[in-house]
Amino acid sequence: MLFLSRLAITLMAALGCSAGDLLTLPEHFRPDPFGGIVEADRSPGAAPARTIVMEGARASFVSCHLLAIMTQPGDYSLDVGSFPAASGLQVDLYREWFHYLPATKNYYPDALVPIAAQYRSKLPDPDNRVANQTAQAFWLDVWIPSGTAPGTYRLKAALNADGKLSTVPIEVKVLAALVPAEDAVAMDHNTYGTSWLVTDYPSLSKPAGDAFFASDRYFELIQAYHKVLYENRGVFHQLGYGHGGKVGPEFAPRLEGTGKSRHVADWSMYDRHFGPLFDGTAFAKTHLGPRPTKLVYLPINPEWPASFLWWGEPGYEKEFLNVVGEMERHFREKGWTNTRFEMFFNHKKRYKAFPWDGDEARFPNDTAYMLEYKRLLQLAVPPDSPVKFVFRTDSSWTLDRQAKDLAGVVNFWVCGQGELAYQPEVARALKERGDTVWTYGASPLVTEPASHIALQALRPWIWGIDGFVHWMATDAGPDPWFNFAGGAEALVYSGDRFGVGAPIPSVRLKLQRNAVQDIALLNEFRKTHPVEQLRAEAARRFNGTELKDWWSPRPAYADKDPLDRTNADEGVPEGPKFHEALDAGAWQRVRTYVFDLAREVK
Amino acid sequence: MRGIIAFLVAASPLLVGQTQLSAEARAQELDRVAKAATAMVDGDVCLHIQTKRSIEFLQKKDPRDPWIASDNFDVDHPAFIQTKKTLMRLARLCPEACDANLWMPLEGNPEPVQVLIRNVYEMSSFWNWGNLHQPMPDEMKRVLTTGERVTFRGKRGMISVLAPVYDSLGNIVALVEVVSQERRDLQENVK
């Protein structure tokens, strides 16, 4: 593979590239550090070009790669100009980090380091340390505000290397169509607790010492995670309690008393953490503008706010009602009525703290606990409350049984994707009764084609459900920079090594965002087109499939008692059109369809 | 029994106030609670906590399903709850935040040991996070064979006192780990 990349450089030199050349690639052809395209994204005819034209609707981003290519080591400067001020178009530039993957012995770009529009460095990049590197890649985001007049706008980017100038024209065609602020599918990014922030941000945590977890920088850092994902049309979930019921002090109000005297003693840490998220001010300086965060885990678990010591006795109900009632009042008085507060049980009995599984329940006698918590929540929250409490469960083994047993109890379902895939009737039933339905899974590795991340956004929309959870989005591994496992559990990275005291986005996150905004726009056309027609055409363009191909046949194991099932039971695998045969350009074909529809908008 | 429990719970608001104890004083306080644990925890009930089916799966290995034991881990709810509540009450006797964890050897296999009930601070000098069972530490072996209480100074400033749990026949069937930490990590194990 390295040979092919080097060949690309040789060919470019033969085609007239000088010592410093600036080239472009569309977003779905990710560059390698030698002037070529990464193996996963290569397709016939794809190659860096001397210009690029991007098309986009208003209130959305368009993106591309810029490649600074130098056949000889040396200094360079990159200057990305600006669009005419009247256009309102705004440019964000990032340096792409080339991660080394020992498993495949090659490099893939993913982490995006924010840089200024005028940038100076050298090749090979002294920080990235890629031997014989001849190309530095940059990710260019262009934000098209909702008020931009439709039309074509241009800027020039210039590379200066060894005193020679290389420029590329960049053209953005702005359509009249407007991407709605509300997404048709929610892309969620999950993590657990905050202890990992200490190791991920030594520049922040070490100087603060013991005071780190109470410092302003700490709360700003948490909010920065919400912000980077919000800005990229995503949601961030951070679970604040452990399997034994230990609640992080920043995830819950401090309680005092026992039994009937149990009450909230102090909201200050909780409000400091969540206030800017619930009123939207944490998102003030984003292109998408300030809006309250959509969803949040509550700290409720079998040990909070009521002590499990009183389970089954009057004190448990009293402690629960006292505190959850206070939460409802506090949220209402603060005006936090646009966020959905999730009562969600993550604990598993295998961690030995409670006798029942809250997460991925498997045993029939665990259901009674869920019914009891629904009863308690109903008692605690006035029926006419404007505060949105929801009861969420993550379900896999017993999805069909839980869907029946917990009808009217759970109203937010996060389903194992493989389980829901053969149960379209369950998805339909849940949606028909008004429940929210997501699926969950891991993120595609960087070594998979660029379109694979879009599949995770498209599938829920094709299925007629509401979202997808990347079950772990912040764990890039012990050394993502030089010894990377591929990023199945990371879509953002710590910015610490780059002097950024905040998470930085990834190429995959940006690709996902661009797909999500396309789906939001596509979904708008259900006002004028049958939605099944829209879905069918998107599926056809994406991977040449029909809608029925997106559901799996019922596997043999599905008819077993859930307790007799194992992870070794083989499901019916999806066809290659969803995997190895899914090319990097798949999403571009959907985008073309969306924009064909959008061009009809005047 | 009920009277003792009522006393413990009534006293708990005073007892749980955070104090700065020396390591020696902490160990003495934990030993006092561990001694009470031997008196209070019902070994016959402990023997009923893990279901027979779960025990059968506990040491199963399947190369195609690395989670076969944990996915089938299950407990008898009344036995678990009764014992956990006793442990929680015992923990309220500590003058500072502490946990009382229940450990049991595996049925028919004296070598491994498993934590069977943990508590809210998620502290243990011995538990490797997520392990269903693990090799038996020498300190636990000593408690199970001699009936002595054993004090152990563990990782990150933890002190544990291990105490035997007896069934009605006088057999040592389990042990309780009463554990506290010099400086609690409020964020650890929130995951």
A602 pLDDT band, cuts 50/70/90, is low
Q: Are A242 and B122 within 8 A, CB to CB? A: yes
Give the pLDDT score at A14: 43
Report how far residue A293's alpha carbon sits from residue A283's, in angstroms, rounded to the nearest whole number.
9
Does residue A354 form part of some domain?
Answer: yes
Q: What are phi and psi of A178, to 5 degrees?
A: -120, 125
| Least CB–CB distance from A355: residue in B12, B68, B80 | B80
Q: Are B119 and A244 within 8 A, CB to CB? A: yes
Does residue A369 form part of some domain?
Answer: yes
Report how far residue A157's alpha carbon sits from residue A166's, in angstroms, rounded to the nearest whole number.
8
| Least CB–CB distance from B68: residue in A213, A242, A566 | A566
Same-domain check for residues A163 and A258: no
Alpha helices in B92-158 (DSSP H): 138-146
The CATH number linked to A474 is: 3.20.20
If one counts every other C-beta atom within 10 angstroms of the C-beta of residue A337, the result is 13
Same-domain check for residues A168 and A52: yes
Q: Are B121 and A246 within 8 A, CB to CB? A: yes
Q: Rounded to an integer, what is the distance from CA A124 to the centroid of its chain? A: 31
Report whether pLDDT(A12) > 90: no
Q: Rounded to an integer, what is the distance from CA B84 to the centroid of its chain? A: 9
| Least CB–CB distance from A309: residue in B64, B85, B117 | B85
Q: Are A349 and B75 within 8 A, CB to CB? A: yes
Angstroms from B141 CA to nearest CA on chain A: 21
Residue B115, chain A, CB below 8 Å: the answer is: yes
Question: What rounded mean pLDDT belongs to chain B?
Answer: 90
Q: Are B187 and A349 within 8 A, CB to CB? A: no
For the segment A341-347, the average pLDDT, to the nearest whole number, is 98
Report how far residue A508's alpha carbon sits from residue A210's, in angstroms, rounded to the nearest whole number.
35
* CA-to-CA dists, residue A127 to A33, A65, B1, angstroms: 13, 20, 67
Same-domain check for residues A116 and A215: no
Does residue A155 form part of some domain?
Answer: yes
Give the pLDDT score at B191: 82
If one counts every other C-beta atom within 10 angstroms of the C-beta of residue A115, the result is 18
Q: Are B122 and A246 within 8 A, CB to CB? A: yes
Please state the domain count of chain A: 2
pLDDT per position as a tens digit, B75-110: 999 999 999 999 999 999 999 999 999 999 998 887
B14 pLDDT band, cuts 50/70/90, is very low
| Least CB–CB distance from A309: residue in B88, B115, B116 | B88
Same-domain check for residues A345 and A393: yes
Give me the DSSP letters along B34-99. Answer: HHHHHHHS-HHHHTTTB-HHHHHHHT---TT-TTHHHHT--B-HHHHHHHHHHHHHHHTTSSS-EE
For the segment B162-172, the average pLDDT, to the nearest whole number, is 98
A572 pLDDT band, cuts 50/70/90, is confident
Same-domain check for residues A268 and A137: no
Q: Residue for token digits 């969306």? A: A594
Three-class SS state of A368: helix
B7 pLDDT band, cuts 50/70/90, is very low
Report whether pLDDT(B54) > 70: yes
What type of residue sits at position A435? D
Q: Find, in chain A, the residue whose alpha carbon is nearest to that of B90.
A: A309
Same-domain check for residues A170 and A258: no
Contacts of A258 in chain B (CB under 8 A): 9, 12-13
Tokens of A326: 């206070």
Same-domain check for residues A316 and A464: yes
Give the pLDDT score at B189: 81
User: Which B residues in the span 50-89 are in contact with A, Cβ-Cβ below 8 Å?
Assistant: 53, 62, 64-68, 70-77, 80-81, 84-85, 88-89
Q: Residue for token digits 């749980």? A: B16
| Those residues with Cβ within 8 angstroms of residue B72's Cβ, 6 or more apart along the chain or in another chain | A563, B53, B54, B57, B60
Same-domain check for residues A265 and A172: no
Sign of the CA dihedral running B73, B77, B83, B89: positive
Question: What rounded mean pLDDT belongs to chain A?
Answer: 95
Q: Find, in chain A, the residue whose alpha carbon is nearest to that of B121.
A: A246
Residue B17, chain A, CB below 8 Å: the answer is: no
Same-domain check for residues A403 and A254: yes
Measured at the alpha carbon of residue A215, what is the angle toward residues A211 and A216, in degrees to the nearest 5?
170
Q: Find, in chain A, the residue whose alpha carbon is nearest to that of B68.
A: A566
Measured at the alpha carbon of residue A78, what is the angle toward residues A73 and A79, in degrees to the nearest 5?
165
Q: Are B86 and B165 in contact (CB under 8 A)?
A: no
| Least CB–CB distance from A213: residue in B75, B186, B189 | B186
- Which comes out higher in pLDDT, residue A474 or A162? A474
Give the pLDDT score at B17: 40
Give the pLDDT score at A10: 42
pLDDT per position as a tens digit, A47-69: 999 999 999 999 999 999 999 99
Alpha helices in A495-585 (DSSP H): 507-524, 531-543
Which of B120, B181, B185 should one mutate to test binding to chain A, selecting the residue with the greatest count of A CBs within 10 A?
A: B120
Contacts of B82 in chain A (CB under 8 A): none
ipTM confidence score:
0.92
Say which CATH superfamily domain B21-181 falls into: PAS domain (3.30.450.20)
If one counts every other C-beta atom within 10 angstroms of the C-beta of residue A284, the result is 11
Report how far residue B174's alpha carbon sits from residue A490's, in angstroms, rounded to the nearest whole number.
41
Q: Are A352 and B130 within 8 A, CB to CB? A: no
Same-domain check for residues A202 and A74: no
Q: Find, in chain B, the residue whose alpha carbon is nearest to that of A347.
A: B191
Does residue A547 form part of some domain?
Answer: no
Q: What are phi and psi of B66, to 5 degrees?
A: -65, -10
Three-class DSSP labels, A18-70: CCEEEEEEECCCCECCCCCECHHHCCCCCCCECCEEEEEEECEEEEEEEEEEE
Report whether pLDDT(A215) > 70: yes
Same-domain check for residues A213 and A125: no
The CATH number linked to A8 is: 2.60.40.10
- Taking Cα atoms as reference points, which of A224, A2, A17 lies closest to residue A114? A224
Contacts of A348 in chain B (CB under 8 A): 70
Report whether pLDDT(A11) > 60: no
pLDDT per position as a tens digit, A445-477: 999 999 999 999 999 999 999 999 999 999 999
| Those residues with Cβ within 8 angstroms of residue B136's Cβ, 6 or more apart along the chain or in another chain | B105, B110, B111, B112, B113, B144
Give the pLDDT score at A236: 98
What percent of chain A has pLDDT above 70?
97
- Which of these three, A441, A471, A506, is where a domain ends? A506
Q: Are A412 and A435 in contact (CB under 8 A)?
A: yes
Domain that holds residue A371: 194-221+240-282+297-506
Chain A positions touching chain B (beta carbons under 8 Å): 192-195, 198, 213, 239-249, 251, 258, 303, 307-309, 311-312, 348-353, 355-356, 362-363, 365, 397, 563, 566-568
| Least CB–CB distance from A193: residue in B53, B77, B187 | B187
Tokens of A553: 């046949």
Contacts of B76 in chain A (CB under 8 A): 355
Q: Are A246 and B120 in contact (CB under 8 A)?
A: yes
Size of interface A-B (CB pairs under 8 A): 110
Report how far residue A270's alpha carbon sits from residue A267's, in angstroms, rounded to the nearest whole number.
5
Q: Are A213 and B116 within 8 A, CB to CB? A: no
Report how far residue B49's alpha carbon sits from residue B77's, in angstroms, rounded to the nearest whole number.
7
Same-domain check for residues A41 and A91: yes
- Taking Cα atoms as reference points, which of A88, A105, A107, A87 lies closest to residue A97? A107
Q: What are phi and psi of A347, to 5 degrees?
A: -70, 155
Does residue A536 form part of some domain?
Answer: no
pLDDT per position as a tens digit, A195-205: 999 999 999 99
pLDDT per position as a tens digit, A115-133: 999 999 999 999 999 999 9
For the segment A79-100, the average pLDDT, to the nearest whole number, is 97
Q: Please classify residue A352 by burial: count the beta carbons closer than 10 Å to its beta carbon, then call 0-12 exposed, 13-18 middle and 19+ buried.
A: buried
Q: Are B190 and A356 within 8 A, CB to CB? A: no
pLDDT per position as a tens digit, B121-150: 999 999 999 999 999 999 999 999 999 999
The one-character DSSP state at A480 is T
Q: Which of A11-25, A347-361, A388-402 is least confident?
A: A11-25
Count of residues for chain A? 602
Strands A263-266 and A295-297, bridge-based pairing: unpaired
pLDDT per position as a tens digit, A298-325: 999 999 999 999 999 999 999 999 999 9
Does residue A334 form part of some domain?
Answer: yes
Residue B185, chain A, CB below 8 Å: the answer is: yes
Domain residue spans of chain B: 21-181
Does residue A469 form part of some domain?
Answer: yes
Give the pLDDT score at A5: 43
Q: What are phi and psi of A113, to 5 degrees?
A: -95, 120
Q: Are B64 and A568 within 8 A, CB to CB? A: yes
| Those residues with Cβ within 8 angstroms of residue A36's Cβ, 6 or more apart along the chain or in another chain | A4, A5, A7, A8, A9, A42, A135
The kind and range of the H/E element at A99 are strand A90-101
Does residue A593 form part of some domain?
Answer: no
Q: Find, in chain A, the residue whose alpha carbon is nearest to that of B50.
A: A355
Contacts of B115 in chain A (CB under 8 A): 352
